[in-house]
Homo-oligomer: A and B are copies of this chain.
């Protein structure tokens, strides 16, 4: 057995709390929902919530570290002779693929949509998401320096990564605000990505 009963149960409560939280946030709004209410709805003690998640916000950002690790692995796994734009493109494709896959394998796709809406609209969650995105940027930049030691210095790498992620984020949010349908949304993100990459392809 490669997962003990104890570990399984812990993971189950954790998941139960997270899903209950998203559901309640979706129904009543983030600020209007208290941790005590979430815990009650999931039938656990309030303290149990904080045993699993360091803060109320964190219940919405559970898998982030693992997802980031995947992206960093793409960078670290630069193929021999692979150019910087090509590597970044491969990372971007990986990001998209993972996001779509997650939407498919999710038990309740409705929760995914609620989740996205929450992170886009609630200020506290937006701030947290931006913070984590920025931390990821720093890690990506550091890895890039390791992988392109002759071509990139820390400042240059940080500028490149900031430019690319900034453009993608900006385009994505603008598309969201316009209420573009899903296909247009992906196209808009791609536009942002391509725009930022132009400055790398024409040195």
Contact = CB atoms under 8 A, between A and B. Distances in A.
Interface of A: 123, 126-128, 130-131, 134, 137-138, 141, 154-171, 173-175, 177-178, 188, 191-192, 195-199, 202
A130 B173 CA distance: 15
A95 B35 CA distance: 41
Majority SS at the chain A contact face: helix
How many chain copies?
2
B130 A192 contact: no
A155 B166 CA distance: 13
Contacts of A197: 199
Given A195-B199, A199-B195, A162 B169 contact: yes
A172 to B, nearest CB: 8
